[in-house]
Structure 1
Amino acid sequence: MNSVPDFDDLPLVEGMPKGCAWGVFDRDGKKDQVGTLNFLTPDVVRNAALEVKDGVSISLNWPLNAMNKLNIPGRLAAQHKILYIPESMAALPFEQGKSWDDELSFNTQCSSQWDSLCHFQHQDSGLAYNGANPDKEALSIDSTSYNKMPTLDHWHSRGCIAGRGVLIDYASYAEEKGIEFHAFDGNRITVEDLEACAVHQNVEFQPGDILIVRTGATEVVDNMNPADLGKMAAAKLTGLHGCEETARWLWNKRFAAAASDSNSFEAYPPLKPDGSIGGMKDLVLHMYCLNMFGMPIGELWDLKELARYCKEKKRYSFMITSTPLNQPGLIGSPPNALAIF
């Protein structure tokens, strides 16, 4: 990791803004497809295992149907179909016995998720991480061995995620410090805020960490009241401040990945360079993290129990494992994430 340039020292990539890490992880003439997961070296994983002291594991996965009450148009809500096998497999020439199957249909952005490095393209060029050029045909591949797109199935070739997680519980920090804060007020959490919260929690970042930031968003949705519903209608989401300074900090810390319980990880709506309000295409950290760094973004993670346990034990680092679904060309996936203490 010491050989990886800092943000301001990254070699310029033609047609791309400063801070583009394309090619940094390429080896032996082969284009990299997993980005900052390369920071999860054997030494990093071994050290992460030292975090396991209590024998306690905590799920970070929100129910698949948790957002059905706030379904976003154009994204299929989670649907669960129960199948009684003697009926569903009646055509088979043998008796099934009393037994059950089920089927799931859902958009991979509908609950806790990882965004792959194809999820958000560089808007001017249309390219994804490391110069990949995704389209429906390229993403509809049926075998990872032929897949040239940096999608989530490639994680399985390197054992997915096992590393050290660090929780920045900004929701609790703001409450303790008397900072006006709500998960649906569009608060912009700055680098200064993140560093101050880390000091407050006695967190020391290490290269290869998986950063997790709590805003309380999923808890607001779980316990929705009329006032919260009114805030949600304004479509303002609290998250990391989407700007170059935050991007520089994320890269220079050598995070292997970053996640949050918010719907967008970064504050929404984003700000354009001139300070005016932007739209989805203007998301700054999505462009830097997913597209230019190759840093996966997790959203809508369930952090309530994790925050409670961290506060109780007064330690905010732990081992984390995450295994997305293994489907060729997968753009998003439930994280299937565990924090292990």
Structure 2
Amino acid sequence: MAKWDIEKDVLPSFSDFPLDKDHPPLAAWSLWGKDDQYGTLNLLTPARVKEASSLVKSGDIFPLNWKLELPNPPLFHRSVLKHEVIRTVQEPAVFDDVYHNFNTQTSTQWDCFHHFAGHLGEPAAGSPHKNTFYQGKTPEDVPNLPGVAAWAQRGIAGRAVLLDYRRWALKNGIQYSPGTNHEITLANLKKVAEDQGVTFKTGDILLIRSGWIEWYESLSQVEREKYAAITEIEIAGLENTVEMLQWLWNNHFGAVAGDQTALECVGPLPEGSKSVRWLLHLHLLSQWGSPIGEMFYLEKLADACAKNKRWEFFFTSAPLNKEHGIASPPNAIAIL
């Protein structure tokens, strides 16, 4: 532990794993400390937040939460949000509203560390790390953990960068439907960054536009219902490879988010693919403590970035202050 210094940007590289012989091979638990609840959000130091504030140039604000009513129907068989408006006083008229069946993962969301367990490869029978979450917590521990409330009480802010894969792909003749298992390869993601002139800094919030929301909003209601009913749903997203993991870790992002309903490619693996199902979820969340954002609304932001040829901006997020929460709407805003 002594050789790593978060403030001075002295951090382990992917080749330094394992960091602790008593932890899973790619776990970063010891880097943050055994009782840590923030993971890579620790990289959003006051100095980095202050530096990021200088990115505000025009003052244009871009809310990144999608409508709570979308997708409709919800995907992955999640519950349908019901909103009730209640008149509590007749004179003077006073109204409250109540949300029923509010699954925090039906629309724009942060996945908390206790959403998804596991690690690369099948753990040996009796392994102490089988089916574990961040910091080695077990399914039995989850209901009593602080969860997303820890993030809410800390706050999330800093420099964010947008990689507009969709715009780059169409410009370069790559035709695909975001509603299929199209893999965004590491090689192409690097080309997007190069084309946009984007360089990364420690603690960046990385946003990736696949075009999924643009695609979904173009569907008729009948098409949306058919898509939600598919047994093995398909979603365009990042390739699930060790090389992608290595790149994500070595850039030391504070969090990673996309406009799709899963950060990584979902669906039957394409022929010849090197991917491993759900590789990014199980490592970013349970091994590194890196928040995953899904269904971030990036359409207007992407247009503004393309117009201004500037892909970095100040970012804030205020998750729900809900004790033991597994996920939360990010209540995120990008300010150019």
TM-score band, normalised by shorter chain = 0.7 to 0.9
Match of 1:265 in 2: 263
2:39 pairs with one of 3, 12, 35: 35
Measured in 2, the distance between the counterparts of 1:39 and 1:276 equals 30
1:49 matches 2:50:
no
1:68 matches 2:63:
no
Aligned length: 315
By how many angstroms is 1:270 displaced?
Answer: 6.8
Residue identity over aligned pairs, in percent, reads 37
Measured in 2, the distance between the counterparts of 1:182 and 1:192 equals 19
Match of 1:333 in 2: 328
Measured in 2, the distance between the counterparts of 1:54 and 1:118 equals 38
2:234 pairs with one of 236, 251, 255: 236
Match of 1:92 in 2: none
Single out whichever of 3-12 and 258-267 deviates more from structure 2.
3-12
Match of 2:126 in 1: none
Going from structure 1 to structure 2, the CA distance change for 1:132 and 1:265 (only over 3 Å counts) comes to same
Measured in 2, the distance between the counterparts of 1:98 and 1:150 equals 38
- Structure-to-structure mapping, 1:90-109, within 5 angstroms: 97-105=92-100, 106-109=102-105
Match of 1:291 in 2: 286
Q: Do the aligned partners of 2:181 and 2:269 also contact (CA within 8 Å) in 1?
A: no
| RMSD of aligned residue pairs (Cα, Å) | 2.4
Going from structure 1 to structure 2, the CA distance change for 1:259 and 1:241 (only over 3 Å counts) comes to same
Match of 1:182 in 2: 177
Measured in 2, the distance between the counterparts of 1:303 and 1:201 equals 16
Q: Secondary structure at the match of 2:99?
A: strand
CA displacement 1:125-171 (0-9 Å, x = unmatched): 12111112233xx4444xxxxxxx3611111342x111111000001
- Structure-to-structure mapping, 1:1-341, within 5 angstroms: 1=6, 2-14=9-21, 17-26=24-33, 31-73=35-77, 75-86=78-89, 97-105=92-100, 106-122=102-118, 124=123, 125-135=130-140, 138-141=141-144, 149=145, 151-158=147-154, 160-225=155-220, 233=230, 235-269=233-267, 282-341=277-336
Q: Do the aligned partners of 2:239 and 2:275 also contact (CA within 8 Å) in 1?
A: no
Q: Do the aligned partners of 1:112 and 1:299 also contact (CA within 8 Å) in 2?
A: yes
Q: Do the aligned partners of 1:265 and 1:299 also contact (CA within 8 Å) in 2?
A: yes
CA displacement 1:210-245 (0-9 Å, x = unmatched): 000001111222220477877774621100101111
After TM superposition, the score normalised by the length of structure 1 is: 0.86
Q: Do the aligned partners of 1:161 and 1:321 also contact (CA within 8 Å) in 2?
A: yes
Q: Secondary structure at the match of 2:97?
A: strand
Q: Secondary structure at the match of 1:58?
A: strand
Measured in 1, the distance between the counterparts of 2:299 and 2:224 equals 18
Q: Secondary structure at the match of 2:50?
A: helix
Q: Secondary structure at the match of 1:85?
A: strand
CA displacement 1:185-231 (0-9 Å, x = unmatched): 21111221111001111111111100000011112222204778777
* Aligned residue identity for 1:81: E
Q: Do the aligned partners of 1:167 and 1:317 also contact (CA within 8 Å) in 2?
A: yes
Measured in 2, the distance between the counterparts of 1:311 and 1:10 equals 38
Q: Do the aligned partners of 2:35 and 2:135 also contact (CA within 8 Å) in 1?
A: yes
Match of 1:90 in 2: none
Measured in 2, the distance between the counterparts of 1:276 and 1:252 equals 20
* Aligned residue identity for 2:148: L
- Structure 2 unaligned segments of length 5 or more: list them: 1-5, 124-129
* Aligned residue identity for 2:254: A
By how many angstroms is 1:276 displaced?
Answer: 9.0
Going from structure 1 to structure 2, the CA distance change for 1:313 and 1:186 (only over 3 Å counts) comes to same
By how many angstroms is 1:10 displaced?
Answer: 2.6
After TM superposition, the score normalised by the length of structure 2 is: 0.87
Measured in 2, the distance between the counterparts of 1:231 and 1:203 equals 34
Q: Do the aligned partners of 2:114 and 2:142 also contact (CA within 8 Å) in 1?
A: no
- Structure 1 unaligned segments of length 5 or more: list them: 87-94, 142-148
* Aligned residue identity for 2:32: F
Going from structure 1 to structure 2, the CA distance change for 1:174 and 1:79 (only over 3 Å counts) comes to same
